[in-house]
Amino acid sequence: MSNDTILKVEHLSMRFGGLMAINDFSFEARRGEITALIGPNGAGKTTVFNCITGFYRPTMGMITLRHKSGQEFLLERLPDFEIPKKAKVARTFQNIRLFSGLTVLENLLVAQHNALMKASGYTVLGLLGLPAYKKAANDAIEKARYWLDKADLTDRADDPAGDLPYGAQRRLEICRAMCTGPELLCLDEPAAGLNPKESLVLNSLLRNIRDEGTSLLLIEHDMSVVMQISDHIVVLEYGQKISDGSPDHVKNDPKVIAAYLGVEDEELDEVIHEVEAIAGGEA
């Protein structure tokens, strides 16, 4: 696996009883890029995500994550709690999961609990007096401030998270994931429920995260977000890959157009012909 690749999914299959939700699916996500996983409803996007982030154990297949240092992790073999901790894969969920009664800043400090406890030496004495703990606490506040600034949330740092508008809560969730220092950030429909203005702010936050060196993998239904920010798109239909490439490649791929329009196999040739004629006319 080359150092340009952060995530390699090979021959992934996931069976739920009699249903083969994912069938021999392979793709790679490159380091420093935003990769989007798209597909019609029920295509299997969430299932793939859940396999990568340890919520499901795949029926078959290999999922390899490679750190910048070259260290590799086989995610399908790691216990789920070690995927964020050791492999440094963070995720957000479709439904917002913040501590709504804690302040915005407190939410970001809770996310850094592991680092803080380690610095305390896991003792009360450590919490009270160890210089290492004081330094870790200051670092945690610094990191929280940094991400609040990036997400345009500094003014709301002391407000309860539950009081923020929806779009700001989504950005806070992303900041919380970033405070864990991930190499790969997985986002499950980050633009769901956002208005167009909130979507634009989100796009710029995600580009910023990528430009600072974290790779992103996202599932998203909002095609305006996907096409604007993705470097690479992988398309699933009925648990199988039907397209893989740049946004331009994917949006002109007749198989993708047919999948989204719900065209039957027999009509595919006709659709391909029409799309090629349109593309030829544009050239």
The CB density around residue 109, as the number of other CB atoms within 10 Å, is: 18
- How far apart are alpha carbons 277 and 273 in whole angstroms? 6
Q: At its nearest, how many Å lie between ligand ATP and the CB of residue 39?
A: 5
Nearer to ligand ATP, 37 or 109 (CB): 37
Q: Which CB atom, from 39 or from 182, has the smaller least distance to ligand ATP?
A: 39
* Residue 19 touching ligand ATP (CB under 6 A): yes
Spatial distance between the Cα atoms of 87 and 72, rounded to a whole number of angstroms? 8
Contact 72, 65 (CB under 8 A): yes
Task: Determine the Cα–Cα distance for residues 49 and 37; give it in Å rounded to an integer.
Answer: 9
- Tokens 């979507």 appear where? 199
In angstroms, rounded to a whole number, what is the distance separating the alpha carbons of residues 247 and 228? 8
Please select the residue that binds ligand ATP; options are 3, 42, 134, 149, rule is CB under 6 A: 42
Q: Tell me which of 23, 44, 90, 150 binds ligand ATP, using CB under 6 A.
A: 44
The answer to whether 39 contacts ligand ATP (rule: CB under 6 A) is: yes
Q: Does 182 bind ligand ATP (CB under 6 A)?
A: no
43-51, 99-107, 197-205, 268-276 -> range binding ligand ATP (CB under 6 A): 43-51
For residues 262 and 246, what is the distance between their CA atoms, to the nearest angstrom?
22
- Select the span of 45-53, 114-122, 124-132, 204-212 touching ligand ATP (CB under 6 A): 45-53
Provide the binding-site residues for ligand ATP, judged by CB under 6 A: 16, 19, 21, 39, 41-47
